[in-house]
Copies of this chain bind each other. A is one copy, B any other.
């Protein structure tokens, strides 16, 4: 039936997500995914014909979840500084629950940049400057934000949020030597990152 169908398909999809995120596209094995889902390997190919198709769907869903975290910022009608604090809070919280996603996404994109092209075109990055001007024209004069340095500022914000998780494997090692707890560091980062950026962009 269609209900049981959804159950099996979802079971497979979740197992595939786990395995792909942990091992990557090349390291993942169809048999491993099947076992994780508690089904036969042939059933995998019955629902998702090939490994590439299965991976594509998993990747697109994950990447979509990640990038969608950037969008709400432009909807809220709150001051710019609050938006920055809001973003770091939401984004870092999300990654704290899914710490392996950043590394997975970054790696798979570098391995096959074409894969992200479709997702990217749905978000209108080119219009961000316009949106910024419209929503914050009355407070923008307080900050050092121009159309020219916007890419620098945006990538800085993204990097401060994403990097700690993308480099988790290294940082945990370093922090251990320094007597720092990673989870506590992450919790503190929500505020630190926001205030760090705000201070720097304020005239």
List residues of chain A with CB under 8 Å of any chain B CB. 23-24, 26-27, 100, 103, 106-107, 109-111, 113, 116-117, 120-121, 124-126, 128, 149, 151-152, 155-156, 158-160, 162-164, 166-175, 177-180, 185, 188-189, 192-193, 196-197, 199-200
Contacts and interface: CB of A to CB of B under 8 A. Distances in A.
List the 9 closest pairs (A to B, CB-CB), nearest first: A159-B163, A26-B26, A109-B169, A113-B169, A26-B27, A107-B107, A200-B200, A159-B159, A103-B110
13 contacts: A24-B24, A26-B27, A113-B173, A116-B169, A125-B174, A125-B178, A152-B189, A155-B167, A155-B185, A158-B163, A159-B167, A196-B200, A199-B200
A200 B195 CA distance: 9
A147 to B, nearest CB: 9
Contact of A170 (B27, B116, B151): B116
A125 B178 CA distance: 6
A128 to B, nearest CB: 8
B155 A164 contact: yes
What is the predominant secondary structure among interface residues of chain A facing chain B?
A: helix
A173 B117 contact: yes
Contacts of A180: 151
Given A106-B103, A110-B103, A178-B126, A116 B155 contact: no
B125 A168 contact: no
A122 B174 CA distance: 11
A58 B200 CA distance: 39
Contact of A162 (B26, B124, B125, B167): B167
Given A120-B173, A158-B167, A199-B200, A192 B149 contact: yes
Contacts of A160: 156, 159-160
B113 A151 contact: no
Given A116-B173, A117-B173, A160-B159, A106 B27 contact: no
